[in-house]
Amino acid sequence: MDRWLQLVLLMPEDEFVTYKVLAEELGVSVRTVYDDITRLNQMMRTHGAQLVAKPHRGVTLDVTERSRFLSFLDSLENGGAMLGDTAEARIGKITRELLQSDAAYRSDDLCEVLHISRSTLKKDLKGVRALIAPYDLQLVYQPYAGMRITGQEKDLRRLLVRLNRNVIASDGDFLRADIQKVATLLQDIFKQYMYRMAAYSFQNFVLHVDVAITRIRQGREIAPGSFPAIQHTPDVLDLAKAVAVALEAMYDIRFSEGEQQYILLHLECKKVISWKQASTATADVYALIHQMLASVQNVFCYDFSHDFELIASLSTHLVSLRTRLLCGMPQENPMMKEIREGGPLAYEMANVACGVLQKEYGREISADETGYIAMYFHVALERMRAQRKKNVLIVCGTGKGAAVLLAHNIEQNYGKYLSVIAAYESTDFSDADLRGADYILSTIPIKEELPVPVIELGHAFPWNEGSDIREHLKRDRQRAIMEYFSEDFFLPHIAAQDKDEVLKMMCEATMRAAQLPDTFYECVLERERIGGTALGNLVATPHPARPLGLRSLVMIGILERPVRWDEEEVQIVFLLSMKDGGDRNLPLFYKMISRFLMNKTLVRRLIKNQTFAEMFSIFSMLSDDASRLD
């Protein structure tokens, strides 16, 4: 992303941000930020916005004509301005230079080639290490020689494909004519062999083929025996041979045994499998899926064991995923940010489910692969939400006939949201079976303590107005999720050096404030070993590996400085503990967390003002939105 666009997107409209914070975010000097803002302001004044600076406070964004300003942002995003290098762009250039070099690179030579200072190189090399780590690659130094990136050829190629993704336009077309020629050739072969591959996977495969051609010409081939022996179907074997023959003819190169196996595995890993194919080819997978769903039920108390669509979707996905795991060829997920921020509960469920896969195959499941599993759980949750109406009991103080009439009117006006399971006259209500009821709707006050929420409608309830019960339900939902928050469970200004220290401090504080088993801390660590709980935007949601205790609660910790949380930076931690037996408000809580994750301004606001009042104010506002019935 271009630096000026990044700069504008970092600007809040309702508060000031300092030049130092902006410089750290962009990876440039404060002076560079000052110069960028001066130049950017000259352009923005005619586009409906201005960057307003105040001494000792920083700078803020003032938008006067939003439509013109949004058009200006589009022009920046489409390269409508000449911008300087970002830290991200420099890191990509350094990485590419190191990957393409046969020999180690001395620091001075690298600085000269890239026109950067030694101090900038030193800072950017940290970013290089972070970039290459997920690809099982290392940046190593050789005495008197310099630095180089080391690792297996297949992993070096995965990284090169990521760096080359900028040759794909926003509409999916390839911008380079030579790559477009490869894509056309592969499409024709796929049609001939009736082979199906998803659009993003096809783009990825084309880029892998392009990188493979370059590496073969450079003499950097995949060695024979680089991958485990896997049984392939005859149709995929024939297709792989046809692809290799066509590419050899087009580029006058030879695909060795190792390179042919590389093509074959990509085709095996990326093919789209129908439900019918999965039911015949992967009968043994269903037992594994049962374990995955059982582990999710154990942690979150959600029973998906009868969701045929989810089971079928997972079975088709696991066929290709198994091959990718065994061969160490994980697939990147272009929607990771949207998946984690838009469906944090589904992502948490997928993390737990993938713990079963990790144990079964002895391979770590990448965040990208977990994201694909999360998409299936997200759809299942939405399907469950759409099918699940709230069950209500009706209590009326003016007789059985009035109770039945009230039940009829409620079903007429609110049938989309409510299902009336019984109607009682007040004198008969004491014998009512409350199991299965989500709410009690009563025209009279009910003084006794009940395990089900009571919404008092009053005798003057306007039966034909469509908003009243919805407002009652919304307020009840909002009250329920705000009960998670308490000043006793709020830890601001945590001074910790790493993730382990944060978890230990927060677990100890939680156990002091609540009645929890002695195994609470170990259960939280057990969950962390299954998969990462960082959700992006400086937020993590750790929790025990199973429900514990008699009540649900959340301990909120805010750190003085971000710490590394697996592959993410984290500064706000929601340590959630769900009560034994499950919690029906858990989806609402995660819905509210999703709203928070997607709002960088609110995240920055809470970090800046680490008080319980500020936190409660933010989540009261978010709970109002999350509690709406839809």
- CA 509 from centroid of its chain's CA atoms: 28
φ/ψ region of 445 (left if φ > 0, alpha if ψ in -120 to 50, else beta) reads beta
- What φ, ψ does residue 230 adopt, rounded to 5°? -130, 140
**What mean pLDDT, rounded, does the chain reach?**
84
Identify the helix (H) or strand (E) that includes residue 202: helix 199-217
Identify the helix (H) or strand (E) that includes residue 33: helix 30-44
Residue 584 DSSP one-character state: T
Cα gap 466→65, rounded to integer Å = 37
pLDDT at 83: 42
Q: How confident is the model at residue 267 (pLDDT cuts 50, 70, 90)?
A: very high
Cα gap 455→475, rounded to integer Å = 10
pLDDT at 2: 59
The per-residue pLDDT for range 442-476, each reduced to its tens digit, is: 888 887 878 787 877 765 555 444 446 777 777 77
Find the range with the poorest average confidence among 409-413, 494-498, 591-595, 608-612.
Answer: 409-413
pLDDT at 532: 80
Find the range with the poorest average confidence among 121-125, 166-170, 521-525.
Answer: 166-170
Cα gap 332→372, rounded to integer Å = 9
The answer for residues whose C-beta is within 8 angstroms of residue 233's C-beta and 6 or more apart is none
Taking alpha carbons only, the member of 626, 617, 602, 591 closest to residue 478 is 626
Residue with tokens 């858990």: 586
How many CA atoms lie less than 13 Å away from 168 in the CB half-sphere?
20
Cα gap 352→365, rounded to integer Å = 11
pLDDT at 31: 79
pLDDT at 387: 67
Whether residue 629 is predicted with pLDDT greater than 70 in this model: the reply is no
Find the range with the poorest average confidence among 16-20, 24-28, 232-236, 556-560.
Answer: 24-28
Exposure string for 518-556, b = 16+ CB within 10 A, e = fewer:
eebbebbbebbebbbbbbbbbbbbbbbbbbbbeebbbbb
Cα gap 423→395, rounded to integer Å = 6
The per-residue pLDDT for range 136-181, each reduced to its tens digit, is: 999 998 888 899 999 999 999 999 999 888 777 666 778 788 899 9
Does 412 or 601 have the greater pLDDT score? 601
Helix (H, G, I), strand (E, B) or coil at 425: strand
Whether residue 344 is predicted with pLDDT greater than 50 in this model: the reply is yes
- What φ, ψ does residue 43 adopt, rounded to 5°? -80, -40
Cα gap 359→355, rounded to integer Å = 6
Structure tokens that stand for 255 in this block: 């695909």
Range picked from 24-38, 141-155, 426-440 for highest mean pLDDT: 141-155
Helix (H, G, I), strand (E, B) or coil at 391: strand
DSSP letter string, 432-454? ---TT-SEEEESS---S--SS-E
Does 279 or 355 have the greater pLDDT score? 355
pTM of the prediction?
A: 0.72
pLDDT at 84: 44
pLDDT at 274: 60
Whether residue 417 is predicted with pLDDT greater than 70 in this model: the reply is yes
Taking alpha carbons only, the member of 361, 359, 339 closest to residue 349 is 339
Length of the chain: 630
